[in-house]
Amino acid sequence: MPVHAYASSKAGVVSLTLNLAGEWGRAGVRVNCVSPGSTLVPRVAERIRSGRYAADPAEFTALGRIVQPREVAESIEFLASDRASAITGVNLVVDAGWHVAGTWAQYGGVRAAPSPAQAAGGAA
């Protein structure tokens, strides 16, 4: 799937965010952006159900699931709130760990973490 235009425009948004945050910060304006990963909107859910994807997108995330639309909305709400009053120039990635897990595909994918008992040295 060619993503040249998408990737270039996303990089442009991130760069614009950084530049505007620097330019407008002293005026009290905070500028941030959100980069959602694969989000379980109805169209994506239908493509998963119908098998139109070669693999379940959740398999390529560190958390083993797809982002819910409310999680993207809540991230935006947080950045716009007073709780984020010291945050500017940030690209908040909301992708259930796709960026960190994607590189694991060449090594067989993300592995399940051990259970607490296994991690403590007990029986599984």
Q: Out of 32-41, 56-65, 112-121, give the one with best mean pLDDT.
A: 32-41
Looking up residue 58, the CATH number of its domain turns out to be 3.40.50.720
Closest CA to 18 of 93, 90, 87, 79: 90
Q: By the 8 A CB rule, do 70 and 83 touch?
A: no
Which structural domain range is residue 21 located in?
A: 4-103
- Please name the residues in contact with 29: beta carbons below 8 A apart, sequence gap of 6 or more: 20
Q: Does the active-site annotation cover 6?
A: yes
Q: Which residue has the higher pLDDT, 118 or 74?
A: 74
The catalytically annotated residue of 1, 2, 3, 6 is 6
- C-alpha span between 19 and 25 (Å, rounded): 10
Please state which of the ranges 5-9, 13-17, 34-38, 103-107 shows the lowest mean pLDDT: 103-107
Domain count, the chain: 1
Q: Is the residue at 35 inside a domain? A: yes
Q: Is the residue at 69 inside a domain? A: yes
Query: How do beta strands 33-36 and 91-94 pair?
Result: parallel
pTM of the model: 0.79
Q: Is the residue at 117 inside a domain? A: no
